[in-house]
Amino acid sequence: MKNTSYFSMIQPVMLAGILCIALTACGGGSSPTPEPPVTATPEPPAPVVDHSGLTPLSSEVVDENEHLPGGDATVFVSNEDAFSTRPQMIADDFQDDGFFTTGDHLFRTPDRDIGPLLSTGSCQGCHVNDGRGNAPLSATAPMLSMLLKLGDDTGAADPIYGDQLQPFAVQSFSSPDFNSGVSVHDGSINGTQLFGEAFPFIDYETINGTYPDGTAYELRKPVYKVKDLSFGPFMENIRFSARVAPQAFGVGLLDAIPAGNIIALADEDDSDGNGISGRASIAVDTISGETKLGRFAYKAQNTSVLQQVAGAYSGDIGISTSIFPNEACTEQQIACQMVAAQESKVDTEPDFSDKNLALVEFYNRTLGAPARRGYDDNSKAWDANIAAGRTLFFETQCVDCHTPRHVTGEAQGSVLGKLTLTGLEENPEPIAMLSAQTIFPYTDLLLHDMGGSCAVTRETAIGESCTTGAECMYVQRCEGLADGLIQGDASGSEWKTPALWGIGLVQTVNPKSTFLHDGRARTIEEAILWHEGEAASRKAAFMALEQSQRQQLLDFVESL
């Protein structure tokens, strides 16, 4: 037997193994059992939330807290005091209740240094029962709780009359003879006698229309006229913007909504294609000098409740403050300056102290929002008609501007300081009642283009064209809701979405009051029918409803 080495014996086996490995690597031969694939666990989808970080509201299911529009600041009053009531959290705090009461008194009482030129003698003179004012009932009645803003076609103030028309001189409110302070044509040009600046009034034209189902409706279109200018003519290209005083409650809650939440609702380029292109008003805060979100007044030109209050004292009542220290007299109104020099507080001392201003600010911020009607607290159920109207309000997309719900952040104390029994101190505390509240004001606080345009002419009482003289009036006619006045960030056809809370009680609080910025709408239905511009499709959707459905939607709005 031949002697064979170990290597020579295993070599064929090794070669066969190598060949097998090579063939397997190239895909030949049998395949090994594959490992089961690793399946990644999918990430759960991010929850859909609204601008406040909450689950979006449903058109069919009413939020469980919607009957409490002001959260902890809700009040349960539905009579003429609905807009004038302190919330329970204020009533339960002895010191806050005292501040509220004192602020209320200042709000209602004329100051000794009102004027020399003014629109009204006190805050309550415009905000009747803390509610809306009203347009004059006739063309001969003066404007007592509404006013005219002024500006040219660029928004610049008139060099003689400023940015607001003041129809009265102080003697209308300080003497028994009210008419002694009304305007007189060229009456104050010589600088020795002071009269109100001019007499504004309204004539209405009738517009008749028909719903698609044949139901007729009637609107009244205002034509604004100004006569008897005491200080000479207006500048060229003058524009007028009529404003009825709005209800005063709820502003503290709106002030506490984080600016980012409001800006999140803006869609200036209509990127979602829904026809709504609301945009934020960015304005200069008079107090700090900083650029901030505007959210108060009809064109959202004011950034805070304090700025709004101080501006009203200055422009409406002729009361100077540390925020607006100048009297409401322009350099060319010599007669106004003469009377101002006779007031009890002159030079650099303002008419109204910071403490008084802080008290009125506190009062305005803490006025309660009235509870919704149509909710049964025992059964926790809504009136079926109102619930149906709410669904229609959502389905007609009215909520694209009238955003139902917001959440407030921390409501900072007054920048003027912390109110105490003796004055103001540093480090004001946040207002707990206004902080971290879920509220239902039904507004996005954004500017929207409502369409229309305006033209101003000079005419006599019988409509003849004129240029000068005592009989020559200024007449402004507008299409749609436009006023033609640029103010702040807003154009002549843009308006801030008004909050709807309390709208169903407006005429309970002040039976003479009407709706929209200038009071032209006698009913909520008329207010809807004036919607144009961005809101035209929503108006069309309302008009297309059956008559019973329209009434349900109106019943819902009146429950707010």
* Per-residue pLDDT reduced to its tens digit, 199-220: 999 999 999 999 999 999 999 9
Dihedral sign (CA 538, 487, 241, 512): positive
In sequence order, which residues have a C-beta less than 8 Å from that of residue 101 and are 6 or more positions away?
none
For residue 127, give both structure tokens: 């905000």
pLDDT at 405: 98
Q: Quick check: 373 pLDDT over 70? A: yes
* Per-residue pLDDT reduced to its tens digit, 258-309: 999 999 999 999 999 999 999 999 999 999 999 999 999 999 999 999 999 9
* Per-residue pLDDT reduced to its tens digit, 157-197: 999 999 999 999 999 999 999 999 999 999 999 999 999 99
This prediction has a pTM of: 0.90
Q: Which residue has the higher pLDDT, 122 or 17?
A: 122
Three-state DSSP string of 243-273: EECCCCCCHHHHHCCCHHHHHCCCCCCCCCC
Q: Classify residue 442 by burial, with Cβ atoms within 10 Å: 0-12, 13-18, 19+.
A: buried
* Per-residue pLDDT reduced to its tens digit, 107-149: 999 998 999 999 999 999 999 999 999 999 999 999 999 999 9
In sequence order, which residues have a C-beta less than 8 Å from that of residue 541 and are 6 or more positions away?
395, 396, 397
d(CA 555, CA 557): 6
Residue 63 near residue 358 (C-beta atoms within 8 A): no
pLDDT at 19: 31
Confidence grade of residue 44 (pLDDT, cut at 50, 70, 90): low
pLDDT at 345: 74
pLDDT at 440: 98
Confidence grade of residue 16 (pLDDT, cut at 50, 70, 90): very low
Which range is least confidently modeled, 273-287, 340-354, 376-390? 340-354
Cα angle vertex 476, ends 326, 481, to 5°?
A: 90
